[in-house]
Each structure stands twice: as structure tokens, then as C-alpha cells.
Amino acid sequence: MNPDHLQANRAMWDERVPIHVGSDLYDVPGFLEGSSRLCDFEVAELGPVAGRSLLHLQCHFGLDTLSWARTGADVTGVDFSEPAIRVARDLAAGTDLDARFEVCDVHQAASTLDRSFEIVYTGRGAICWLPDLRAWAAQIVDLLEPEGRFYMPEFHPFTDVFHGDRLEVTETYFDGGRPYRDETPGTYTDPDAETHHNTCFTWTHPVSDVITTLTRAGLTLESFHEHDFTVFPRFTTLQKAPDGDVHRFPDGHPRLPLMYSILMRKPDVATGPA
């Protein structure tokens, strides 16, 4: 990553950690009382994790990581934001959950941790912050044990072609890897929050690029799903589902892909791909 892009993004995330910790969206008090940040489809698609080592890349301040710990996984979380990791460690101590958190850039996770895992997980809204998918995929392969699995639920990049809150096409889906510079103050948990480090850089990665890059790095695709729901009101026309926390277009509205999820496996070198 361009050092200037990395510095800007880290400063932006560092500043927003306390805002996110205190937000209704993350609901830290609810988590401390026993709630989970995981979606039902994530738990179902990944399957049982009890007793398995799980690494969460780009874990922010650790709520998703600790939610996996509550399902029985032996969890480790990494993030490049030191303030985020400090909060994650405090939350682990406050909930008495067994979890490890390390400050490191995702591109250096394998060398920093110097161990392998049965599961590598990266959560919603993560890869748009990475310019180079090849370097990212190589880290995942290095971090996985043979027969280990990589699981990623993500916001569908198709939604990035639309205006911020309405279905009007304003951006290109195929942007050639160029960075998108944003200087919007506030944050997704509180658009009116007072912030100073507002410059950040993101990248749009078409789903085909994500899957192709991971398979070329050596992973085998086990499942790929596109979902007609998301976990927040991305567009003003979305409605919260009565049977859960996801948001969908109302009945009669054309169904569009709002999220996707990938489950992949690292073949055993001795046996090769199945």
C-alpha cells in the first residue's frame, strides 16, 4: 500500500474507535450482556468452530472476534489500529473471554504471528481498504493450516455503483484498481460526529477478482453465495426484516445482490485439491 494511503487510513480509523465503541450500532453494553455480532448466515455457512483456532483479519475493536469466541473458537484478532486493539483487549478481559489481539497490518500478519490457523475469517466491510488483493491472498494462504478454511462475508461491490443512499448509478463497477479518495467527516455510526482525520482511501474489488485471486493463490472454492439482504439500511428503500436484523427491499421490488460470502479451503499439500 502507498505509505500515504496507509497513514491516512490508520489516522482515520484511530480517531473513530471511541466513536464506534460508544455507538448504538455496535451496542457494546448489549455485547457485554451476552449478545453476538455474528449474523445467522455466517454461523450456518462456516459451521461448528468450537475448539478450532480462528484468526480474524482487520478485526477493528474485536466485537466480531469475541463473538466467535462465544461460539467456542480459539480466537486471535489483528488490526493496524493500536487504539482499536487496546479496546479489544479490554473487552476480552471484561467479558472473561479467552482471546488474543495483536497490532499489525494485514499484509504482515503471517510474519507477525508466526503460526497457522484452522480458520481465517475476515468480516464485513474489510477488503475495500486493501489495494492489492494478491498480497492479501498470499497472507491468507500462509496463515492457514493444510485443510484450513477461509471464510469471508462481504458487502457486495455492486452496491458501490449507486449513489450513497438511492438507486441511481453514479460510479463504475470496473475502476481498474484506482483508489477512491473520500474526505467526508463523521462516520457510519454517527454522520454528525466531530472528526478531524477525514481523508481516507478505498478500492472497489469486483467479486470475480476476489475469487480469481484467492484461487490463484492456492485456495479451493467450497461455496459462494450472493445475498439479497444486508445488515444496515444501505438504501432508503430497504426495510428491516421482521424475523431478524437484516434489511431487504420490500416485496415487489427487484431483488439485487447486497452481500456475498465465500468459503474456501487450503488443500493439503500431500493430497492436493479434492
pLDDT per residue as tens digits for the range 77-92 = 999 999 999 999 999 9
**pLDDT computed for residue 130 by the predictor:** 96
List the domain boundaries for the chain.
3-265
* DSSP code, position 187: B
How far is residue 190's CA from residue 10's CA, in Å, rounded to a whole number? 19
Mutual orientation of helices 207-217 and 133-143 as an angle, nearest 10°? 40
User: What is the band of 262 on the pLDDT scale with cuts at 50, 70, 90?
Assistant: very high
Of 91-105, 163-177, 220-234, the one with minimum mean pLDDT is 163-177
Angle at 89 (CA atoms; ends 54, 61), nearest 5 degrees:
75
**pLDDT computed for residue 270 by the predictor:** 59
**pLDDT computed for residue 53 by the predictor:** 98
Q: How far apart are the first and last CA of the chain?
A: 34
**pLDDT computed for residue 165 by the predictor:** 77
Please tell me the chain's helix, strand, coil percentages from 3-state DSSP, rounded to the nearest 5. 35, 25, 45
Taking the model in full, what pTM does it have? 0.94
Architecture of the CATH domain 3-265: 3-Layer(aba) Sandwich (3.40)
**pLDDT computed for residue 242 by the predictor:** 83
What's the mean pLDDT in 223-251?
91
Chain-centre distance for alpha carbon 146: 23
**pLDDT computed for residue 37 by the predictor:** 94
> Which 3 state secondary structure label does DSSP give 164?
coil
**Residue 111, number of CB atoms within 10 A of its CB:** 10
